[in-house]
Structure 1
Amino acid sequence: MPTLIVMPGTGSDADFAARVFGTAAHAAGARLVALEPESDLFGGYRRQLDEFAADSDEVIVGGISIGAVIALDWVLQSPLADRCTGVLAALPPWTGAPGDCMAALSARLTADSVERDGLEPTIASMIATSPAWLADELSRSWRALASRGLVGQLRAAAGHTAPNLDQLAALPVPVGIAVAPDDPLHPAAVGRAWAHAAPHAAVREVPLTEFGLAEHLLGEACLTAWRAASSAATPAEP
């Protein structure tokens, strides 16, 4: 049985990642492992990925937003990545340096607000401008992560350089990408650029207005895209 190892987006946690990818893991016949972010965001994820991969014959890695970036980083860099058979990438945030990409800008502004105004006022401000489902989700996860390095995680993610297009072209495994055409923080064009650059990749769309109320739809879109990419990568029988 393969192990599907997934990571949440910045400011989110393992609980949400597990709900996003739970039904996809079941459909793929995989054991699901959702990783919690640590104060050392990237080092912590790399250590956890290596630990689980070392105990598995086959792994699929995935994530949401910066979690998808970390999944690609690991496949490109870890000596244990030869055990990986695919990547499920939900809502890619940027390619290469983040610059002023909306997801990075949002993370920086949230970190500034928590440091300047405090956690609860920042949550109140977020609630006032967010859909109810997102307000509920972020209120829960921000409070859960507040004592575990939330501000540092936000700043680390906002400054992290994702794989560039040349690096994506070296990906050795199929990639299934899910994009949301109505999500301004994660432009669908980024996910499509990832798919165009990677040797074996496919994209599926799922609107934010749909997966916001049924988060498993996002993971299922990744799985559907990965299966399409895997099929295209498999040589036809003679």
Structure 2
Amino acid sequence: MTTLIVMPGTGSDADYAARVFGPAAASIGARLVSLEPESDLVNSYSTRLDQVAAEGDDLLVGGISIGAAIAVEWALRSPLAQHCRGVLAALPPWSGPAADSLAALSARLTADAIERDGLAAAVAQMVRTSPAWLGAELSRSWRSLADRGLVEQLRAAAAHAAPAESELSALTVPLGVAAAPDDPLHPVEVGRAWAAYAPRAAVRAVPLTEFGPAPHRLGDACAAAWRDASAAAPAEA
């Protein structure tokens, strides 16, 4: 039995991650486990990854944005990652420290707006400045996460250092990356860099205009890239 464990991006939830990766999991023949974010974002994800891994199944781990970063980190660092067969990384947000990343800046500004103006006003402003599908999606997820430490999640993600080049170069399992050439918050160059740094990796491009209205296209691109990476010969030591 193979289990695919996935984590959503900042401000998103398990429901969205399940819709992104559900068809991809089925195509791989894997059971899908989609994790819900908590206030202690990174530690809670790592703990629950270990809990699922302890069941002994073969694993794939994956995520969107900050979820993708945490998936790679877990595959690199957890003793239980011996069961891991690969990582599916959708929309990598940055490499190393967040610095001036637009995704991190957006998370900080969103947290500021919620604290300053309240959730309802922040949602209304976001809807006014977003495509219809994104406004609807984030309106739902922000409200669902309001009692689960949404502001703390946003700030934790914005301060988190993603895997750097030296860390990605130590990843021994196949890495499948999906990157969007039209998503300014998750630059396609970051996704391509992740795939270039990792020894066994591939990247598939999928436009935001495609997966926005059809989230499964993002997960499908990740799965296709992981298959590409898995088919490649391991790099010689």
**When the two structures are superposed, what TM-score results if normalisation uses the length of structure 2?**
0.98
Q: What displacement does 1:153 show?
A: 0.3
| Structure-2 separation of matches of 1:234 and 1:110 | 42
- Which residue of the partner structure matches residue 218 of structure 1? 218
AA partner of residue 158 (structure 1):
A
* Unpaired segments ≥5 residues, structure 2: none
| Structure-2 separation of matches of 1:40 and 1:223 | 28
| Structure-2 separation of matches of 1:3 and 1:233 | 24
- Which residue of the partner structure matches residue 22 of structure 1? 22
Fraction of identical pairs, as percent: 68
Question: Is the 8 Å Cα contact of residues 180 and 186 (structure 2) preserved in structure 1?
Answer: yes
Question: Is the 8 Å Cα contact of residues 75 and 81 (structure 2) preserved in structure 1?
Answer: yes
> C-alpha offsets along residues 136-192 of structure 1, whole Å, 9 cap, x if unaligned?
000000000011100000000000001110110000100000000000000000000
| Structure-2 separation of matches of 1:234 and 1:27 | 24
- Which residue of the partner structure matches residue 111 of structure 2? 111
> C-alpha offsets along residues 31-78 of structure 1, whole Å, 9 cap, x if unaligned?
000000011101110110000000032000000000000001101110
Question: Is the 8 Å Cα contact of residues 199 and 234 (structure 2) preserved in structure 1?
Answer: no
AA partner of residue 193 (structure 1):
A
| Structure-2 separation of matches of 1:34 and 1:188 | 25
| Structure-2 separation of matches of 1:229 and 1:130 | 34
| Structure-2 separation of matches of 1:114 and 1:107 | 11
- Which residue of the partner structure matches residue 47 of structure 1? 47
- Partner of 1:127, secondary structure, is helix
- Partner of 1:182, secondary structure, is coil
Answering whether residue 203 of structure 2 is matched by residue 203 of structure 1, we say yes
| Structure-2 separation of matches of 1:222 and 1:131 | 23
Answering whether residue 169 of structure 2 is matched by residue 169 of structure 1, we say yes
Question: Is the 8 Å Cα contact of residues 24 and 223 (structure 1) preserved in structure 2?
Answer: yes
| Structure-1 separation of matches of 2:233 and 2:114 | 45
- Partner of 1:233, secondary structure, is coil
AA partner of residue 215 (structure 1):
P
- Which residue of the partner structure matches residue 82 of structure 1? 82
| Structure-2 separation of matches of 1:67 and 1:14 | 11
Question: Is the 8 Å Cα contact of residues 181 and 205 (structure 2) preserved in structure 1?
Answer: yes
- Which residue of the partner structure matches residue 125 of structure 2? 125
AA partner of residue 120 (structure 2):
E
CA root-mean-square deviation: 0.9
- Which residue of the partner structure matches residue 65 of structure 2? 65
- Partner of 2:232, secondary structure, is helix
Question: Is the 8 Å Cα contact of residues 3 and 56 (structure 1) preserved in structure 2?
Answer: no
